[in-house]
A and B are shown apart, each in its own frame.
Chain A
Amino acid sequence: MPQHPPCLTLRHVRYAVGSARSPQGLKEILRGVDLTARSGEVTVLLGPNGAGKTTTLSCAQGLLHPSQGSVALLGQDPFRAGAELRARVGVMLQDGGMPQSVQPRALLKHVASLHQDPWPVDDLVSRLDMGDFMRTSIRRLSGGQKQRVALAASLLGRPEVVFLDEPTAGLDPQSRQTVFGLIDELREMGMGIILTTHLLEEAQKLADSVFILKDGEVVRHGSVAELTGAAAAGAASADGAARRMVFTASRTLTRAEIGSAPVSIELDGGADNAPGATWMTPRLSGPGQLRELAAWWELIDMMPVEVRMEARTLEDVFWEVSVS
């Protein structure tokens, strides 16, 4: 399948605050971020708090100028670009960026008035189910309602690229599904969608490509299948993820027994090595390894209490990256 054209490229982007001469010194927030997002795809940025996700987005949106490196948004430098480029890009900031005393309808109409041919405000109001609170001041809205207003504002200009920083934070499950349905629809239209989220399960369903940031660097990137190992291990299941195996030990395992296991095993979720502890293989390459594990249980004379197969998820990858 031909790849979609890139809509955003970051090359070796560094961003630092402070000064080498100040007592606090220079603090590097981004330490050489490389990232490519494509039109017609959903690109998800993941990372623990403070990893640099929002700073990366701010550099990509032209709100911050990188200390080093380059950013190309639809082929232009967003920091120096004019209204023509800004009209092609929608932005939803993490903190909303909305005036508190204004009613949503007034704000949306104003944002629409900045564009030549915006989506009708009422269409987005209806699509995001916002009709009930259009005449309430933004100050009085719930967190989820504010999120929907900010999302609508980012989409009004019918942009080619949209940045969504935590678009589902504070939303109830039903609203979350509405937003994810809308994102799917926008992708089909050819919009490039770059978003951050802490909802890994949803990210796994939506993302065409994932970039995991840690300490200001991209530490893993690829499609969900590539990151979870499904693509490489040849153990892809119907849901596109590799398998891992989880078993509950009937007794404590000795260090020698753990060392003799045919595949790497580790305690699941930081449990203690005790009777009833849950162990897991982070990744199985195929059915042959199941036979090897069964032979190993026989060798060490330990019958597991429970054995189950689980799909390796983005959350597993994220957890590995976070603790490494």
Chain B
Amino acid sequence: MTALHAPLAPAPRPAVRRILSHGIYETRNVLRNGEQLLVSLILPLLVLFGAHRLELITSAATPSIDVITPGVLALAVMASAFTGQGIATGFERQYGVLAYLATTPLGATGLILGKAIAVLAVVAVQVLVIGTAGLVLGWNPDPVGLLWLGVVVVLGATAFTALGLLLAGTVRAEATLALTNVIWVLLGAAGGSVFPLDHDGAGALLLLLPSAALGEGLRTAALEGSFPVLEALILAGWAALAVLAARRWFNWR
């Protein structure tokens, strides 16, 4: 039996090291989780290849790969930031993991920042994999626009992570699981992320959805090489609303 002889000498590691450590821990957990990888990478890749070959099953005009690739990137960002983080955080809350980690030197703020690092790391992998697949299929983005695309991806990831955490902190884990999946499918199919919306009539109203703002913003950046100001403002607005709501209603246990 090992005796614990060390004297009591408790001290936290520096904040940056703690947050980085938690970000790496969370990223590993996501990348090792088969279900999360399926939703974050495999399904978006299937959508990319499927939409690219849509003309095989329909005679209607199909969008070009230059339109589809940014849309699938939007779908992937929603999958990891909203669905993936929402479900993971919902179950962590149910099992008391959030409450436990909040009592460690990491604290609530470190926990959220660590999660943000994990989301950004996973999103970086998604951009790399889906972007490469798009390039192989003939995607030809504007080089300057890629910089703006990166900015919009970060804004979108922030807004959808905040929305996912809001859901995870306010309803039961099982409900979070069902809701995030259903909302992801609905926003992916008809929310203006993968396929562009009509900018007239009802379609114009749907542009206020975060999914449409993300999809339209990524398409504007990649196709036109310009910064999508309106879409960025809409995403920032959703992020601010979700953060404020989470501060008010998020329940750690």
A interface with B by C-beta (< 8 Å): 61-63, 82-84, 86-89, 91, 93, 95-102, 106, 110-111, 113-117, 119, 123-124, 126-127, 153, 157-160, 182, 185-186, 189-191
Chain B 94-134 interface mask (CB, 8 Å, partner A; 1/0): 01110111111111001000000000000000000000000
Inter-chain contact A99/B92, CB cutoff 8 Å: yes
Q: Given B32, B104, B252, which contacts A114 in the complex, CB threshold below 8 Å?
A: B104
A231 to B13, CA, bound (A): 46
**A100 CA to B88 CA in the complex, in Å?**
10
Contact partners of A96 in chain B: CB under 8 A: 95-96, 100
Quick check: A126 and B103 within 8 Å, CB to CB? Answer: no
Partner of B10, one of A87, A123, A126, A189: A87
Contact A101–B95 (Cβ < 8 Å) = no
Q: A63 to B22, Cβ gap below 8 A?
A: no
Chain B residues with a Cβ under 8 A of chain A: 1-4, 6-13, 15, 17-18, 21-22, 25, 28-29, 32-33, 91-92, 95-97, 99-107, 110, 252-253
Q: Which of A100, A127, A159 contacts B1 (CB 8 A)?
A: A127
Residue of B nearest to A116 (CB): B11
B8 touches A159 (CB 8 A): yes
Q: Are A158 and B9 in contact (CB under 8 A)?
A: yes
Q: Report whether B96 and A86 are in contact in the complex, using a CB–CB cutoff of 8 Å.
A: no
24 A/B residue pairs, CB under 8 Å, sorted by A: A61-B103, A62-B103, A63-B252, A86-B12, A88-B10, A89-B10, A91-B104, A96-B95, A96-B96, A97-B95, A99-B29, A99-B95, A99-B97, A100-B95, A114-B13, A114-B22, A115-B10, A115-B12, A115-B105, A158-B7, A160-B10, A189-B8, A190-B8, A191-B8
A100 pairs with B91, CB closer than 8 A? yes
Interface pairs A-B: 9 shortest CB-CB: A97-B100, A97-B96, A87-B12, A116-B11, A83-B12, A91-B103, A83-B105, A126-B2, A113-B21
How far, in angstroms, from A124 to B3 measured CA to CA in the complex? 9
- Would B25 and A110 count as touching, CB distance under 8 A? yes
> Which A residues are in CB contact (< 8 Å) with B102?
63
Q: Who on chain B is nearest to A62 by CB?
A: B103
For the complex formed, measure the closest distance between the CB of B78 and the CB atoms of chain A, giving whole angstroms: 22
A148 CB, min distance to chain B CBs, angstroms: 14
